[in-house]
Amino acid sequence: MSNTDLVLKMYEYFNSGQLDRIQEELFHPEISWKMPGHHPLSGDHRGAGQVMAFFGELFKAGVSVDNVHFGELDDGTVVEKHLGHAKADTEEYLFPTSTTYGIRDGRIADVQVHTADQHSVDRFMWTVFQLKPIDERIAV
């Protein structure tokens, strides 16, 4: 399977809700998925468990993508651009995004999301994902 085919297969599984197959078949055990921003889902998600939890939340939030295009660099990195869509309350959000996928040992290993409208992504995520009250967030 080509590197681009790995990423295409991930999209197929994600869109059909087969998140377990992504982890089992496509993710490197030491995967790192970096999501930029200042919102509850941003950060460097390390390991398949954390990335799958991140995916689960994206799936529940109703984020969908279209206008997807792929290319592969000479080092095997897959570059993908897409337009993300989401809706919260009455507002519709568009997220022009590019993502790079580093492949290691035939699996997706190092992912970096590059967002063109970070403010819109942050606003959507804060609308959808609320933090627990402070006394439930802080470990004593």
Assess if residue 140 is contained within a domain. no
CA distance to 1, 78, 82, 130, per residue, from 75 (Å): 16, 9, 21, 40
CB 27 within 8 A of CB 51: yes
* 16 pLDDT above the threshold of 90: no
Distance CA 9, CA 22 (A): 8
| Residue 119, domain extent | 3-129
Collect all residues with Cβ–Cβ distance below 8 Å to 21 and sequence separation of at least 6.
13
Supply the pTM of this predicted model: 0.88
The CATH number of residue 40's host domain is: 3.10.450.50
60 is a domain residue: yes
Q: What is the pLDDT of residue 137?
A: 83
Per residue in 20-62, pLDDT (tens digit) is 899 999 999 999 999 999 999 999 999 999 998 998 888 888 8
Number of domains the chain contains: 1
Nearest partner of 49 among 62, 68, 30, 35, judged by Cα: 30
Per-residue pLDDT band at 120 (split at 50, 70, 90): very high
Does residue 61 form part of some domain? Answer: yes
